[in-house]
Structure 1
């Protein structure tokens, strides 16, 4: 279900076609030139044609940040002075390229530096991150040089969680937590009683399992909040790596829906100087969070639902029940481990603390806490008294959601947050930036442009960089004052002249009515650049049903959204619609199909597609296709089974076709507890695609990687088994040793997907074995 795409080492693709009664395409014959034209619209070809699209900045200190500016010549690493608004080169790129080339043994292009991280050292040297390696570089020397940082300080290879003062990092070894001195590499063991499957800070949610340590450092770097994770009774998942000779068995702990024993955590606080482990005085907690289906939700690690007091003496955290219906705000004494429950919240469906980030905050100086709740059907902030546990008042009110709290200034009693749906007349998915007083009042809009705003605040909170854009207008990057939003400097203004000259056309924002005929749904439509309104086009629906995200995947400008435009160039209309049951709207909208996950927004997809067919004569509703990955793989197959006369062709990748065979946390949050009656029937029966296999009529391709450790391939094999027993024709593509993303096989799978819709939906003949040659890692 979690679609994080990354490179993987893969074997050759194995295709098992269960082809019966295949009808040859009757339309035109597409050539390699047609596919090459479509490929021009892939992101790896379009992104380099967008100039000055600065979408991410990195603050160095309160007054300076660095970023990468791109134009036809290449990438320019820049450093801006926030006070003066002047930008200068971050470093000498030619010198750095030469030094990195010498260190790595192969030339590095100065205008295509693969640098993703930068840090200035006190001695004048710089640290740069190049892919997975860190280099220490001296650009001031007569001959610039770079040295792999790993050769300067000999340390273990375990990834570390850096302390706030930057001097230490915590890591896991042999189920225990260790400390590494960054400067010397000296390693110290902090815990000693960790054992297999009952280790400290271990990162395993079943669908995700890494070697990173999940910890939360105190602000003064003297204490660590973490847990001892008990997986001893948790069931295991097994996969087999294919190779010549004996196969390699892979196994790890992977709790499933309905398991009696799932993973638990025992919360601890470690005093770093003394190595003393203080176990919190409470029963083991569920491995749950208020934001996602892991205790660590963000890409940079950390423990989202844990926050220290500034003095490090107390720790606030939120416990969540197994089915997410109950959340408890608690405070622990770091020295004694004593725990006090301050207040709690319940929900008939599930409680969440925000979109994109945990929004609650701990304010011990004033004995207060900021709490996020959707109790009035919208995500608002509330202020609680920590002494009494009582609600003091609402900080924000009304419709629209607070999506992400970015900063709280306890002294000025001000909160800065991103929000959606709070400005009349603005697309309800466009995030804007506001500030509001802790004591209430009307929020002040700091970014008035009717666009989606990405915000990066300075460390001192006095300024922020605002990147605003829409799907059809390129980004403008501005430095603004945090007190009133006034413009301090324009960092960059994107230019798409080269992109347009290459034939690019923007997507078409669309709105359609939901299943109820009243609720407005938002989406995007992609038409061929050579669109002819006198023709009839088959339509392909790209679907990701949620509930944790939707099909459109963001409202920022993008030169390519997946391969939607590329597929449109092959003679299709492609659409993506965020149906009911997806986030960012009201709580009731999000809860539309709670406890009915077989819904998968499909009634909204059908209603929206039919409305588009009525609106536009050039859409052929007799030729409707659908595809998706992960949750979209589930939904696209479900579409063929629940609406067999409407959807004619589906391409379903890595689907969780029966959530009883997927990790416990995700499905139990949105479908609830698995309840089985005496007759063997359960509330999870209807959501299982295999139970509807007999209804298949159209053309279905199932795709899965055999080493998918997110959605195990058994999900697709269960579907295959049901289709065979129902005597149904279908197609199957299993990719040996591929994970949830297909890595090196991605170009192959993409081309096969194009072929499938060209052949079976459009009735045309694709070119023979076209190769997508421009893929970044090919």
Structure 2
């Protein structure tokens, strides 16, 4: 009897112990895959297509009932359907003989015509007809209907059965504003063709009658005029050596001048990745890649092409100086976004080229102007810092170009300052402990600037973006879209109206229309999340904690399993990205759940949070905190916040903490498990820049710093020194999984190999996965990578190992048609 009672008692203990522990729920994680989410969540914001006549826009919005198309007249405060879906389905069915209904219409690509009183679009039917193409008359193809609908009309008009013109020209053509001439790059030189020949190329880019004109003859590889970018292997480069490629440049508004920044990278060393499964013989991809501290550098010059004389003039800058150059362009109007072509225009209409130069160490910034006829340069504004310039903006011209607005962090916060055209300060426009972000519009008649900012209202999350207006003379900004939300606005050309999309991570996204004084004109949409909630979805929870200094506020989000049981203990996972350009902490509702919500469903509490040195939209002190300590600066905050949350919430098991991330997060997660080996028990590091001495110089030198030193011969040299993850390999105690794509030409796989090499030399066990042919984002192997990560943390933090050969959670979604 005693034995029976003892056995029952032990069984109860085991049962209760099991109930207290979280176990991996693969089915729940599989339910929220990107493929499944696409069926549950559709539109979450309104993207207005502002029209050119009147204050009107159209938009598409998709719910579980299909897509609807609306046109909004802001002046009349009306919103109506662009067409009746039932009628449109009937008309299309009658014309094409393909069945449609109101919920299942084809994908439209509208073009507004006839002063925006009608729309034209094409629909491809299932009927096959003989090709009209003279080169392939025997080929069968699907019949195309080019249709027109007059708004408010009662039917469709068939315009033709012509296919849409090919748009291959968009890959290479740089068209002058008046369409008189088209520039492109060929064999590393600048070529041009007139409008007549360009129209031939639009119809058939292989037309032998096309006349191309070569302008330059001194172009060569790595010191040319336009050309191909990174991503072509050596065989493809050889195959396409006579193709047309784009040349990125800036047009004067009268189409008489073309400005181009030519870069000499011939002395920059090469880097390589190999496609090992391309063909019988692997193919090599070679590209220029400048690494931190290398003395060779890019030589940059600005060239002015005169269209009429065919002359070329250089802007008077020192092309041997190691510096960055950014030419300023005119901002595009919202009503131009859907235009067939949008030439990039110089900021000035008065024969001036505005640009900035930033020293290689990014401590010195000059705002400059050049005369477009002579190339003579004047320096208008000079800024200096002891850390670095990261966020820079073009100047904004106003009052017939007699004044300009410059953005600066001169007092430790990002703000706007008004200058005259000679660079003399008139007044500062914004002031205070907040971050002014972007100019939306300036109304010169009312002396009003509309702009976005962060952190104005101290009661809100400082990362939330809102839109404000303020006098150009300065003063207190007035908020135009008040609310405890993160917002994204889309104004019309004159900012008389703007669409306001708003949400938090724990609210349903909504969209509305407001006017320039912030008054609500109408509510537009509320996202349809019904299917998502029916599946068991629950919002995550925002939180605030303290950084490791006990002073700085840190903001983050907690993601729990949807079957959360407060009586259980859950391992804690941290999804990290150190910045400094962003912190990858969601502020608005997002369907990108793969790295956060979905990981929690396996049986973890997942957190994501910022860290000192992480984000540019707070103070410059906050953003520049990690300068000179790029490996370790954010780690203490990640650890300390986790400990605070464990003190607040009894369901967090602080003895089982894992960490993971991608790119900078891959680098940070490995650093964390090596710097705090007794705290972080498992890490999963994807595509990490573990060795920033071999990552691209712009990112590494900017955020960590590069020193200018004079050597014994009096020559200026650049010195870069940084701590690397592999130097801590001996510290590994926990379970580390390294992943990289073998064709990552952003963060080279060599950075991961170096960590693996040192771990092997230190006799450490770890997991390592190379994803063949994958670039930095892992592409079509992302789902495979998700389940590798799930297995890793389930095994080492939940104690459940999945030994099955097949990844059934992927396979079960694949139809077994063969």
| TM-based fold match above 0.5 | yes
Query: Per the alignment, do residues 683 and 35 of structure 1 end up closer, same or farther by CA in structure 2, a change over 3 Å counting?
Result: farther
Query: Per the alignment, do residues 258 and 605 of structure 1 end up closer, same or farther by CA in structure 2, a change over 3 Å counting?
Result: same
Give the secondary structure class of the aligned counterpart of 1:523.
Answer: strand
User: What is residue 266 of structure 1 aligned with on the other side?
Assistant: 301
8 Å contact from structure 2 (residues 546, 553) kept in 1:
yes
Structure 1 residue corresponding to 2:416, chosen from 367, 377, 381: 381
8 Å contact from structure 1 (residues 426, 450) kept in 2:
yes
Structure 2 residue corresponding to 1:428, chosen from 447, 456, 462: 462
Cα deviation code 1:728-777 (max 9, x no counterpart): 11111001111111111111111111111111121113373223369899
Measure the CA separation in 2 of the matches of 1:105 and 1:198: 55
How far apart are residue 286 of structure 1 and its match?
Answer: 5.1
How far apart are residue 531 of structure 1 and its match?
Answer: 0.9
User: What is residue 552 of structure 2 aligned with on the other side?
Assistant: 519
Cα deviation code 1:312-335 (max 9, x no counterpart): 511211111112111111111112
8 Å contact from structure 2 (residues 417, 430) kept in 1:
yes
How far apart are residue 440 of structure 1 and its match?
Answer: 1.4
Matches within 5 A, 1:285-364: 288=324, 308-353=346-391, 358=393, 360-363=395-398
- Do structure 1's residue 647 and structure 2's residue 680 form an aligned pair? yes
Give the secondary structure class of the aligned counterpart of 2:67.
Answer: strand
Give the secondary structure class of the aligned counterpart of 2:302.
Answer: strand
Query: Per the alignment, do residues 490 and 728 of structure 1 end up closer, same or farther by CA in structure 2, a change over 3 Å counting?
Result: same
User: What is residue 222 of structure 2 aligned with on the other side?
Assistant: 197
Structure 2 residue corresponding to 1:588, chosen from 613, 621, 633: 621
Matches within 5 A, 1:404-415: 404-415=438-449
User: What is residue 250 of structure 2 aligned with on the other side?
Assistant: 216
Unpaired runs of 5+ residues, structure 2, are 1-16, 125-143, 150-155, 203-209, 238-243, 329-336, 338-343, 712-717
How far apart are residue 31 of structure 1 and its match?
Answer: 14
How far apart are residue 68 of structure 1 and its match?
Answer: 1.6
User: What is residue 759 of structure 1 aligned with on the other side?
Assistant: 795
- Do structure 1's residue 605 and structure 2's residue 638 form an aligned pair? yes
Structure 2 residue corresponding to 1:556, chosen from 578, 584, 588: 588
8 Å contact from structure 1 (residues 120, 127) kept in 2:
no
Greater Rg, structure 1 or structure 2?
2
- Do structure 1's residue 49 and structure 2's residue 58 form an aligned pair? no
Query: Per the alignment, do residues 469 and 337 of structure 1 end up closer, same or farther by CA in structure 2, a change over 3 Å counting?
Result: same
User: What is residue 462 of structure 1 aligned with on the other side?
Assistant: 496
Measure the CA separation in 2 of the matches of 1:102 and 1:347: 68
How far apart are residue 360 of structure 1 and its match?
Answer: 2.9
Measure the CA separation in 2 of the matches of 1:321 and 1:108: 60
8 Å contact from structure 1 (residues 58, 66) kept in 2:
yes
Matches within 5 A, 1:363-512: 363=398, 365-387=400-422, 389-482=423-516, 484-512=517-545
Measure the CA separation in 1 of the matches of 2:91 and 2:741: 40
Query: Per the alignment, do residues 206 and 343 of structure 1 end up closer, same or farther by CA in structure 2, a change over 3 Å counting?
Result: farther
Give the secondary structure class of the aligned counterpart of 1:700.
Answer: strand
How far apart are residue 249 of structure 1 and its match?
Answer: 0.8
Structure 2 residue corresponding to 1:251, chosen from 264, 267, 286: 286
Query: Per the alignment, do residues 352 and 560 of structure 1 end up closer, same or farther by CA in structure 2, a change over 3 Å counting?
Result: closer
Bigger shift: residues 39-48 or 580-589: 39-48
Give the secondary structure class of the aligned counterpart of 2:785.
Answer: helix
Query: Per the alignment, do residues 316 and 112 of structure 1 end up closer, same or farther by CA in structure 2, a change over 3 Å counting?
Result: farther
Under a length normalisation based on structure 1, what TM-score does the superposition of the two structures give? 0.84
Query: Per the alignment, do residues 576 and 31 of structure 1 end up closer, same or farther by CA in structure 2, a change over 3 Å counting?
Result: closer
Measure the CA separation in 2 of the matches of 1:262 and 1:737: 30
Query: Per the alignment, do residues 128 and 288 of structure 1 end up closer, same or farther by CA in structure 2, a change over 3 Å counting?
Result: farther
Structure 1 residue corresponding to 2:61, chosen from 58, 63, 69: 69
Measure the CA separation in 2 of the matches of 1:97 and 1:743: 36
How far apart are residue 94 of structure 1 and its match?
Answer: 8.6
Matches within 5 A, 1:675-686: 686=722
How far apart are residue 212 of structure 1 and its match?
Answer: 4.8
Cα deviation code 1:587-606 (max 9, x no counterpart): 00111110110125111000
- Do structure 1's residue 691 and structure 2's residue 732 form an aligned pair? no
Matches within 5 A, 1:84-103: 84-90=76-82
User: What is residue 725 of structure 1 aligned with on the other side?
Assistant: 761
Structure 1 residue corresponding to 2:187, chosen from 174, 177, 181: 174
User: What is residue 147 of structure 2 aligned with on the other side?
Assistant: 138
8 Å contact from structure 2 (residues 544, 555) kept in 1:
yes
8 Å contact from structure 2 (residues 450, 467) kept in 1:
yes
User: What is residue 536 of structure 1 aligned with on the other side?
Assistant: 569
8 Å contact from structure 1 (residues 191, 277) kept in 2:
no
How far apart are residue 86 of structure 1 and its match?
Answer: 2.9
How far apart are residue 117 of structure 1 and its match?
Answer: 5.7
How far apart are residue 47 of structure 1 and its match?
Answer: 5.0
8 Å contact from structure 1 (residues 175, 202) kept in 2:
yes
Alpha-carbon RMSD across the aligned residues, in angstroms, is 3.9
Give the secondary structure class of the aligned counterpart of 1:771.
Answer: helix
Unpaired runs of 5+ residues, structure 1, are 1-25, 293-299, 301-305
How far apart are residue 343 of structure 1 and its match?
Answer: 1.6
Give the secondary structure class of the aligned counterpart of 2:324.
Answer: coil
Higher RCO by CA contacts (8 Å cutoff, separation 6 or greater): 1
Cα deviation code 1:67-107 (max 9, x no counterpart): 22112122223332222233344468799999999999999
Query: Per the alignment, do residues 535 and 371 of structure 1 end up closer, same or farther by CA in structure 2, a change over 3 Å counting?
Result: same
How far apart are residue 110 of structure 1 and its match?
Answer: 7.8
- Do structure 1's residue 705 and structure 2's residue 741 form an aligned pair? yes
Question: How many residue pairs were aligned?
Answer: 725
Query: Per the alignment, do residues 128 and 307 of structure 1 end up closer, same or farther by CA in structure 2, a change over 3 Å counting?
Result: same
Give the secondary structure class of the aligned counterpart of 1:634.
Answer: helix
Give the secondary structure class of the aligned counterpart of 2:60.
Answer: strand
User: What is residue 578 of structure 1 aligned with on the other side?
Assistant: 610
User: What is residue 82 of structure 1 aligned with on the other side?
Assistant: 74
User: What is residue 12 of structure 2 aligned with on the other side?
Assistant: none
How far apart are residue 439 of structure 1 and its match?
Answer: 1.8
Under a length normalisation based on structure 2, what TM-score does the superposition of the two structures give? 0.80
Bigger shift: residues 431-440 or 182-191: 182-191
Bigger shift: residues 768-777 or 491-500: 768-777
Give the secondary structure class of the aligned counterpart of 1:362.
Answer: strand
Cα deviation code 1:602-636 (max 9, x no counterpart): 11000100111111111111111010000111001
Give the secondary structure class of the aligned counterpart of 2:258.
Answer: strand
8 Å contact from structure 1 (residues 545, 582) kept in 2:
yes
- Do structure 1's residue 283 and structure 2's residue 318 form an aligned pair? yes
Measure the CA separation in 2 of the matches of 1:31 and 1:518: 34
How far apart are residue 701 of structure 1 and its match?
Answer: 0.7
How far apart are residue 369 of structure 1 and its match?
Answer: 1.8
How far apart are residue 263 of structure 1 and its match?
Answer: 2.1
Cα deviation code 1:429-457 (max 9, x no counterpart): 11010112222122221111221110111
Cα deviation code 1:360-409 (max 9, x no counterpart): 3233725222111112111111112222x222221100111011222233
Query: Per the alignment, do residues 508 and 776 of structure 1 end up closer, same or farther by CA in structure 2, a change over 3 Å counting?
Result: farther
User: What is residue 158 of structure 1 aligned with on the other side?
Assistant: 171
How far apart are residue 349 of structure 1 and its match?
Answer: 0.8
Bigger shift: residues 116-125 or 692-701: 116-125
How far apart are residue 542 of structure 1 and its match?
Answer: 0.2
Structure 2 residue corresponding to 1:59, chosen from 35, 41, 50: 50
8 Å contact from structure 1 (residues 747, 771) kept in 2:
no
8 Å contact from structure 1 (residues 35, 770) kept in 2:
no
Give the secondary structure class of the aligned counterpart of 1:393.
Answer: strand
Structure 1 residue corresponding to 2:29, chosen from 27, 38, 63: 38
8 Å contact from structure 1 (residues 634, 652) kept in 2:
yes
User: What is residue 569 of structure 1 aligned with on the other side?
Assistant: 601
8 Å contact from structure 2 (residues 513, 523) kept in 1:
yes
